[in-house]
């Protein structure tokens, strides 16, 4: 890995509870600052979404998406643009060398940070959901499964109620379209309150409902899934589905 020096100026505000602005500055080893500001409306997903995501690298700016899911809905008026005017005076990166790797790592760190923060700042959200799928046969399969779980309304509602309903995890995986063996799946829930296994080899395991509820009442909850098919791993971020989400969007005009 290639270390980076980090400095952050992080701000967030929600004037109408439907927009979020986040700013972060990250300095790479060469001294070129990487700054990103994101403004997100009510829908967020990795496909084209209502997200104005602006990155500045010296005199370079870009606009793009990160993997965070709030409602699973998407918008029609978005685009991803990468622009470089060369005013920073840096040498052009032409191959996958150490400078390319440093820039890639810095860019990824900023995008991941923003994806997590925007997901946690979802409309009416009371807790953040992190879903990690490991042991997948390929990255696309892991991503499809993780996103399906994070965007499931039933799963999100269960997280709002701190209900360790692991069946909703497997349900979302099942209709995702990704190939996996349900009888090989392990599921755990984790937070700063602890970790608990709720499903092994696709079957229920005995666990304390009280302990599980305490874990799921945390502000940030992880869903850990192992499909035991390979070595690929992907993480997606989302939030729970609350009464406030319905209230906000039941009286919303664009």
The arithmetic mean of pLDDT across residues 36-45, rounded, is 44
Cα 175 to Cα 38, 133, 149, 227, 233, distances in angstroms:
31, 16, 10, 15, 19
What's phi and psi for 153, nearest 5 deg?
Answer: -60, -40
Cβ atoms of residues 218 and 130 within 8 Å: no
pLDDT tens, position by position, 86-133: 777 777 778 888 888 887 877 777 777 777 877 888 888 999 999 999
Helix (H) or strand (E) holding 195: strand 194-200
Exposure of 185 in the CB half-sphere (CA atoms within 13 A): 27
| pLDDT score of 180 more than 90 | yes
Stated pTM of the model: 0.74
Q: What tens digit of pLDDT does each residue of 196-214 get?
A: 999 999 999 999 999 999 9
Grade residue 62 by pLDDT with cuts at 50, 70 and 90. very low
Highest mean pLDDT among 28-32, 66-70, 91-95, 183-187: 183-187
């Amino acid at each position: 890995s290639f270390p980076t020096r980090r400095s952050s100026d992080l701000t967030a505000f929600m004037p109408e509870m439907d927009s979020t602005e986040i700013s972060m500055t990250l300095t790479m080893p060469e001294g070129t600052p990487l700054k990103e500001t994101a403004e997100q409306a009510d829908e967020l997903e990795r496909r084209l979404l209502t997200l104005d995501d602006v990155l500045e690298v010296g005199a370079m700016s870009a606009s793009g998406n990160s993997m965070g899911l709030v409602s699973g809905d998407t918008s029609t008026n978005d685009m991803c643009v990468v622009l470089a005017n060369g005013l920073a005076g840096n040498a052009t990166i032409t191959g996958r060398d150490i400078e390319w790797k440093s820039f890639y790592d810095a860019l990824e760190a900023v995008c991941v940070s923003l994806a997590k923060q925007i997901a946690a700042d979802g409309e009416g959200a009371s807790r953040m959901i992190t879903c990690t799928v490991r042991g997948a046969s390929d990255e696309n399969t892991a991503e499809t499964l993780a996103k399906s779980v994070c965007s499931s309304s039933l799963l999100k509602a269960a997280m709002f109620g701190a209900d360790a309903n692991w069946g909703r995890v497997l349900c979302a995986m099942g209709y995702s379209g990704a190939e996996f063996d349900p009888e090989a799946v392990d599921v755990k829930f984790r937070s700063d309150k602890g970790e608990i296994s709720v499903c092994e080899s696709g079957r229920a395991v005995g666990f304390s409902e009280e302990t599980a509820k305490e874990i799921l009442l945390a502000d940030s909850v992880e869903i850990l899934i192992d499909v035991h098919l390979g070595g690929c791993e992907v993480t997606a971020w989302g939030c729970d589905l609350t009464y406030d989400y319905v209230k906000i969007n039941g009286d919303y005009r664009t």
